[in-house]
Structure 1
């Protein structure tokens, strides 16, 4: 049974001073927002959760996902998906190939492609599998990036300023899509942002840093 994501007495220092300190539990389908300006340790915390923390930092505490301690596991074994603000689609791959890249290996190629096609239809991009990522609008690219993360079957979702580069209309649309799809999949979501509107839209608990 899903137990959500727990940051158990997490403390990160840079060798001289405290960077960030968090102790919280995010229930399945819920969103926890950490809000604050640049430089308060938001992305550093996400790096600790994903297992990519720079060696310049020292961290204590644990990351538990569905009751399992994943603190010492390598990134590819943590089953934590992360969505960034930047466009990270591979330009040398089609939209469909980008999505298939994030899926678990194995199975028949035809079945994997059928999953990609069905997923694109689910987010309103039917017929986009063979498109060049360079032809996508900002909102379409954001949807494809979300889908690539979800097709990797994560057990938790992290959002690193994921909506900051979208215009107002696209931002509202993509934000709603992300939260709804995460809720439908019962994923705990940890979002870091400097934007109060993102925090309000997410609902759930908000931790404000740098005040």
Structure 2
């Protein structure tokens, strides 16, 4: 990334296929703070595209095109060096760690010292309206609290782009509206180019950005 310039996430003529069948073809640029929604039926390649961006797509897939984040080509980079965060429909909190431990796990190694790391965790919890929850067992949290902790854990890893993989599908309708607003607000506030895949048209409407339908 030249001189700290944030140019967003670019998918340049990306094609993904499997066993001779094309699953998805995308060409788009997602600006910092923009949320683009990708919709389509199961098997349309949505999750495969996210896996490719993250660097976790299995080798048997055929891929062409380029993934570029803030001017840096990600193709060939290991997942841990891509600075791409992903939020799944399951919160995937570690049951053997406290809430604070879950968040601290995501902190970059560059943040050194127990006090500095604890302060960063406390700051994240406060921004999620969960001040004082650091020592809580994740099993004692509500669904909405778990969803917020999962998002803060992703953000603490300091991603340069965010992927959302059906992140609201397991929440009840009242909670879904609240968590959607929380997630989208933080995406914009942090200037993260965000790609969301979903089956729910309401997710795309709530995001308020472009909606791309895959066949």
- Distance in 1 (alpha carbons) for counterparts of 2:109 and 2:6: 24
Other-structure match for 2:105: 101
Compute the TM-score of the two structures, normalised by the length of structure 1: 0.98
Unmatched 5+ stretches in structure 1: none
SS at match of 1:113: helix
Other-structure match for 1:127: 132
Alignment of 1:173-192 (within 5 A): 173-192=178-197
Q: C-alpha displacement at 1:169, in angstroms?
A: 1.2
Describe the superposition over 1:180-199 as per-residue Cα deviations: whole angstroms up to 9, x where unpaired.
11111111000000100001
Other-structure match for 2:175: 170
SS at match of 1:37: coil
Other-structure match for 1:59: 63
Question: Pairwise CA RMSD of aligned residues?
Answer: 0.7
- Distance in 2 (alpha carbons) for counterparts of 1:6 and 1:15: 26
Other-structure match for 2:75: 71
Unmatched 5+ stretches in structure 2: none
Compute the TM-score of the two structures, normalised by the length of structure 2: 0.96
SS at match of 1:146: helix
Q: Number of matched residues?
A: 210
Q: C-alpha displacement at 1:15, in angstroms?
A: 2.2
Other-structure match for 2:48: 44
- Distance in 2 (alpha carbons) for counterparts of 1:141 and 1:179: 17
SS at match of 2:85: strand
Matching of residue 15 in structure 1 with residue 36 in structure 2: no
After superposing on structure 2, the runs of 4+ consecutive aligned residues of structure 1 that deviate more than 4 Å are: none
Other-structure match for 1:144: 149
Q: C-alpha displacement at 1:119, in angstroms?
A: 1.0
Other-structure match for 1:199: 204
- Distance in 2 (alpha carbons) for counterparts of 1:71 and 1:143: 30
